[in-house]
């Protein structure tokens, strides 16, 4: 096994421990034959978190009610998969993850502002 592959496997292990992602290959993106350390949904959530922080730095805060609406698509998508065994695709998982990540971080920001 080459050095690059060993590093990639280590990143998968670290992501599983730190993020709690299932890392199923059929629910993950691949780049040059290497599976990303997080599944499509977790990748979307992480990117959503980063986008939300960028929006906060730029001074854009989303209303808390809209934040709650942003959480719904991921919950619906995951719930439909779980309850009815209807699988979504990776693009939907990724997209709902981004929306959820933005809504969640802004909901936390609104909560902090409210408590202060």
Instruction: State the chain's mean pLDDT as an integer.
Output: 88
Flag whether pLDDT at 31 surpasses 90: no
Segment 32-50 shows an average pLDDT of: 89
Buried b (16+ CB within 10 A) or exposed e, 15-50: beeebebebeeebbeeeeeebbbbbbbbbbbbbbbe
In the predicted model, what is the mean pLDDT of residues 54-72?
A: 93
Residue with the bigger pLDDT between 24 and 20: it is 24
> pLDDT for 74-93, tens place per residue?
999 989 988 998 888 999 99
pTM to 2 decimal places: 0.84
């Amino acid at each position: 096994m080459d050095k690059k592959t060993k590093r990639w496997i280590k990143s998968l292990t670290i992501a599983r421990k730190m993020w709690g992602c299932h890392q199923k290959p059929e629910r993950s993106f691949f780049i040059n034959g290497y599976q990303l350390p997080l599944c499509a949904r977790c990748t979307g959530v992480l990117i959503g978190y980063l986008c939300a922080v960028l929006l906060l730095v730029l001074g854009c805060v989303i209303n808390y009610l809209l934040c709650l609406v942003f959480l719904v698509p991921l919950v619906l998508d995951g719930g439909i998969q779980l309850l009815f065994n209807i699988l979504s695709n990776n693009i939907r998982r990724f997209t709902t993850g981004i929306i959820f990540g933005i809504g969640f971080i802004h909901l936390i920001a609104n909560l902090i502002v409210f408590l202060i």
